[in-house]
């Protein structure tokens, strides 16, 4: 991994973080669909990224987001879980012939069908953990399910739009 690559990763980390806490934080559709787009940053890290550094990145990103949401620990918990699971999931979804060197597992590189199977379960897991922790202490069931499903769909659609607008094929950002 050369230095320009690391610079790009750090830059997009900052960008995802700031856009999340300054813009998407206030963007909640109908009070149920949240936009936790920062999860996409973890999903789009290069394929050969090891689990340990990825979990540390997830921890720091979650900590930053938690500070602004005043939900101390909840984003950390769900994002670290995603970072831990991601590489297993990538391993299961390996296409025939394996991944290319230095590949970013994005929709543009892998195709829409593959990206749906890759990202949708991970988004769902993240939102499940987050809203489950959030609802502890209340005995609500239906509103929580509603939030999980609506947010998963919303974030998925947003992640496709963001990739179409800001990402390029075969060039890891």
Partner 1 sequence: MYRILLFLYRIRAFLLFVLLETIAIWLIVSNNSQQGSVFFNSSNRISAGILDTQTDIIDYFSLSSVNKALVEKNAELLAELEQYRKPADSIYFSLDSALEASYQFKGAKVINNSINLSQNYLTINKGSRHGIREGMGVFNEEGVVGRVKGVTKNFATVISLLHTELLVSSKISSSEVFGSIKWDGVDPKIAKMLYVPRHVQVQVGDKVVTSGYNAVFPEGIPIGIVLEVKPGPETNYLDITVELSTDFTKISYVYLVENNLAEELENLNLEN
Which residues make up the interface to partner 1 (CB under 8 A)?
21-22, 25, 28, 31-32, 34, 50-52, 55-56, 59, 62-63, 66-74, 76-77, 80-81, 84, 133-135, 137-138, 140, 143
Show the tokens assigned to 68. 């602004």
**Smallest gap from residue 49 Cβ to partner 1 (A):** 12
Distance of closest approach, residue 35 Cβ to partner 1, in angstroms: 11
Nearer to partner 1, 4 or 139 (CB): 139
- Smaller CB separation from partner 1, 41 or 115: 41
CB 163 → partner 1: shortest distance, Å?
26
Across-strand partners of 29? Answer: 33
Q: Which is nearer to partner 1, 12 or 135 (CB)?
A: 135
How far is 39 from 45, CA to CA, in rounded Å? 11
User: Nearest distance from residue 96's CB to partner 1, in Å?
Assistant: 26
Distance, C-alpha 109 to centroid of its chain? 17
Q: Based on CB atoms, which residue is closest to partner 1, 75 or 107? A: 75
d(CA 81, CA 79): 5
29-65 in b/e form (b: 16+ CB < 10 A) is eeeebbbbbbbbbbbbbbbebeeeebbebbeebbebb
């Amino acid at each position: 991994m050369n230095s320009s690559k690391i610079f790009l990763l750090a830059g997009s980390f900052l960008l995802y973080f700031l856009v999340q806490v300054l813009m998407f934080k206030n963007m909640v559709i109908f009070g149920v669909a949240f936009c936790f787009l920062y999860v996409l940053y973890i999903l789009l890290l290069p394929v050969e990224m090891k689990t340990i550094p990825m979990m540390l990145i997830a921890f720091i990103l979650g900590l930053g987001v938690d500070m602004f949401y005043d939900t101390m620990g909840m984003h950390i918990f769900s994002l670290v879980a995603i970072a831990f699971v991601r590489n297993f999931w990538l391993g299961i979804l390996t296409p025939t012939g394996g991944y290319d060197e230095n590949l970013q597992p994005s929709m543009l590189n892998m195709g829409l069908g593959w990206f749906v199977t890759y990202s949708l379960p991970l988004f769902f897991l993240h939102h499940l953990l987050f809203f489950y922790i959030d609802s502890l202490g209340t005995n609500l069931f239906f509103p929580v399910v509603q939030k999980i499903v609506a947010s998963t769909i919303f974030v998925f659609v947003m992640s496709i739009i963001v990739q179409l607008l800001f990402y390029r094929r075969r060039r890891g950002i």
